Amino acid sequence: MLERYEELIKIINEADYNYHTLDKPTITDQEYDSLLRELFNLEAEHPELRRSDSPTQRAGGKILEGFGKVTHKIPMLSLSNVFNESEIVNFDSRIKKEGIDPKYVCELKIDGLSVSLQYENGKLVKAATRGDGVTGEDITENVKTIKTVPLTIKEPIDIEVRGEIYMSKKVLEEINEKRKENGLELLQNARNAAAGSIRQLDSKVAASRKLECWIYHLPNPEDYGISTHMEALNYMKHLGFRVNPNNKLVNNIDELLQYIEEKGSLRDDLPYDIDGVVIKLNSLPDQKIMGYTAKYPRWATAYKFPAKQVLTKLVDIIFTVGRTGQITPNAVLEPVIIQGSTIRRATLHNEDYVVSKDLRIGDTVSIRKAAEVIPEVVEAIKERRTGDEKPFEMIKFCPICHSPLMKKEGQVDYYCFNQGCDRRHIEGLIHFASRKAMNIDGLGDQIIEDFYNLGFIKRFTDFYKLYEHKKDLTELEGYGDKSINNLLNAIEESKNNSLERLIFALGIPNVGEKTAKILAMRYETLDNLINADIEELTSIPDIGGIIAKSIKDYFSLSFNMEQVNGLKDLGVNTTYTGEKVVVNENFSGKTFVITGTLVKYTRTEIEDKIALLGGKTSSSVSKKTSAVIVGENPGSKYDKAKELGIPIWSEEDFENNL
């Protein structure tokens, strides 16, 4: 009986491999079903026989309470991105600079989620998500339901491999059809669907999602005597892993660009989503020379395809009022999904923007959204016009308070100048509490609007008197004692913020986060800033006449001064408690531009550091730039600096100058 049991496992696992991984079925569906039934029956009668690599495990069944943690022996890194030919050339030159004659393996960038698979003695023992790169989640039970992941490999060895779990376009469509019939919310895209499926506590649900897997990385190639990435791919294929057939070795940039072009046009015909091409140095000794940054390998990068454009309908153009009174037209769109997010709105900036694109209500428009970038209306498709479209007309009165709109001299935007406009007040209060300003947790936009309408918060000082309404709050729907206490504590806590947050929170026109920080460091107390005159203000690098006048105008209004004094009386801190400026002659009075991804600092961190040393930062390179600090994958600013002969600093150079 044991013999038959083992034979069944072998035959079914092999049939799975031939069907799912090689795409070459060797037995009929009926034969397969009958073998699997036999195996299920045998296990039911003799549970003591059940093996961890039995294909019955693929059906799922275990229900977990949660996912355990797995620490990766070698961190699971992400990839740096390149977006165009010149960035690819830069990547290539950085490799050549190390004396390497590079050959690359090009692969499809599968849009799914990465997974690490560990085998002991040839058997799958653990599968984990990437998590934060160091620690991931144990998803072994769910991964066992993926038919393209072998439960047993062809050799009884210990090995870890990595790859991408994904859902095919067809499966996503099928699932969504069913969900639609059942009135359930649709899964947004294949990647979210795959990620959601792999995090199901009930592995039966995961099994029903029919996920698949491509393997593309061997973290420990030396252990298997392998010296190129291509060999690693072939070795993993030999072991029974599913390796993507589109992988290709290219000898130079021309071949690489050709691969990108080819795969880009193949994209829509592939049965799964890809969002780019991964470029990997083939020689493993060369990979060693290039090494790693904290986040990425330096020997690989991901070329991302340009953002997709989709067509939808411009249903309406509505107008919003900002805290400064600025009026913005916004496109109301028939909802469309672009690369995973549903787009319903897009800013149209101002009247000139809409007019220059001749957008009409009812138009079919093309929409573009790049990763983490706000959606943009590219153009109206004029050929699709029926004649029923409504031409755009700029409004003449504030949509909220109905006062007449006007432009500021020389500007394109219209403004509502009514200081008493409710919307302006609400937006001002939202800004005050926002994350980069006073950072009051638990005060979302809608809550502030509700509190405004209820009369609890009409001006800044009212935040700090909200406790007086504690009883009213308990009567509101959705508020328990705990959430009210949390909110009041968060408000109390915000009194201790350093001065720059308060300056930014006041919403002085033209005073952004960066200017607020400069002013706070320079003046140290709010009173000092209030008393500063225009001449003194404009002597500060980065503060021009417009900002200086704006600051003076703000503090000369009695309404504003009442608020500021009120805040002080209520105990809001008005002094700078951040790091003090220690002038360093390598930085003082100099201007720096930062480009590329830094390893040790975020953008804000390095900008703050430069400011604390007496220097300033700018976003564009000119003859006045003192040095350009260059991180990984620098953009065109790096080229411009070279062209102008501006000193180029690496992160190490920056630190050596400290």
Task: Please identify, using beta-carbon distances, which residue of 296 and 415 lies nearer to ligand IVH.
Answer: 296
The neighbouring-strand residues paired with 649 are 629
| Residue 297, phi then psi, degrees to nearest 5 | -75, 145
Closest CA to 295 of 631, 657, 645, 649: 631
Cα dihedral 602, 603, 605, 611, rounded to 10, equals 160
Beta-carbon contacts of 290 under 8 Å, excluding residues fewer than 6 positions away, are 95, 98, 100, 281, 297, 298, 299
314 membership: H or E segment, kind and range: strand 309-321
Kindly state the smallest distance separating residue 374's Cβ from ligand IVH, in Å.
21
Strands 113-120 and 123-129: antiparallel
Q: Which is nearer to ligand IVH, 369 or 424 (CB)?
A: 369
Three-state SS string over 80-142 comes to CEECCHHHHHHHHHHHHCCCCCCCEEEEEEECCEEEEEEEECCEEEEEEECCCCCEEEECHHH
Provide the minimum distance between the beta carbon of 248 and ligand IVH in the complex, in angstroms, as a whole number. Answer: 12
Sequence-distant (≥ 6) Cβ neighbours of residue 410 within 8 angstroms? none
Helix (H) or strand (E) holding 593: strand 591-595
Nearer to ligand IVH, 109 or 522 (CB): 109
Tell me the closest approach of the beta carbon of residue 302 to ligand IVH, in angstroms.
5
For residue 348, CA distances in Å to 35, 85, 233, 345 come to 62, 30, 48, 9
Q: Which residue among 109, 304, 369, 616 is the active-site one?
A: 109
Q: How far is the CB of 100 from ligand IVH (least distance, A)?
A: 18
- For ligand IVH, the closer CB: 162 or 424: 162
Q: Specify the DSSP class assigned to residue 270.
A: S
> Quick one: 371 or 561, whose CB is closer to ligand IVH?
371
Q: Which residue has the tokens 């892993």?
A: 241
Min dist CB 109 to ligand IVH, Å, is 4
Distances (CA, A) of 447 to 420, 440, 441: 20, 12, 11
Strands 123-129 and 212-217: unpaired
Q: Which of 371, 454 has the CB closer to ligand IVH?
A: 371
How many Cβ atoms are within 10 Å of 105's Cβ, its own excluded?
20
Provide CB contacts within 8 A for 369, sequence distance 6+.
307, 308, 338, 339, 341, 343, 375, 376
CA Rg value for the chain: 30
- The closest residue (CB) to ligand IVH is 114
Shortest distance, position 275 Cβ to ligand IVH, whole Å: 8
Q: DSSP states of 374-397 as a string? A: --EEEEE-GGG--S-PEEP---SB
CB of 144 to ligand IVH, least distance (A): 20
Q: How far is the CB of 23 from ligand IVH (least distance, A)?
A: 19
The rounded distance, in Å, linking the Cα atoms of 488 and 492 is 6
Q: Answer yes or no: 170 catalytic.
A: no
Length of the chain: 658
Closest approach of Cβ 582 to ligand IVH, in Å?
39
Give the residue carrying structure tokens 């408000």.
Answer: 491
Shortest Å, Cβ 373 to ligand IVH: 17
Contact between residue 371 and residue 392 where contact means Cβ atoms under 8 Å apart: no
Residue closer to ligand IVH (CB basis): 129 or 152:
129
User: Beta-carbon neighbour count of residue 276 at 10 Å?
Assistant: 24
Please tell me what DSSP assigns to residue 148: T
CB of 166 or CB of 654, closer to ligand IVH: 166
DSSP-derived secondary structure for 329-373: EEEEEEEEEETTEEEEEEE--SHHHHHHHT-EET-EEEEE--TTS
Q: Are strands 591-595 and 627-630 parallel, antiparallel or unpaired?
A: parallel
91 vs 216 by CB, closer to ligand IVH = 216
Strand partners, 109: 276
Sites of contact with ligand IVH (CB under 6 A): 77-79, 107, 109-110, 114, 164, 216-217, 278, 297, 300, 302
CB of 87 to ligand IVH, least distance (A): 15
Within its chain, how far is the Cα of 231 from the centroid? Answer: 33
Q: Which is nearer to ligand IVH, 82 or 610 (CB)?
A: 82
Output 113 or 153, the one with its CB closest to ligand IVH. 113
User: Catalytic residue positions?
Assistant: 109
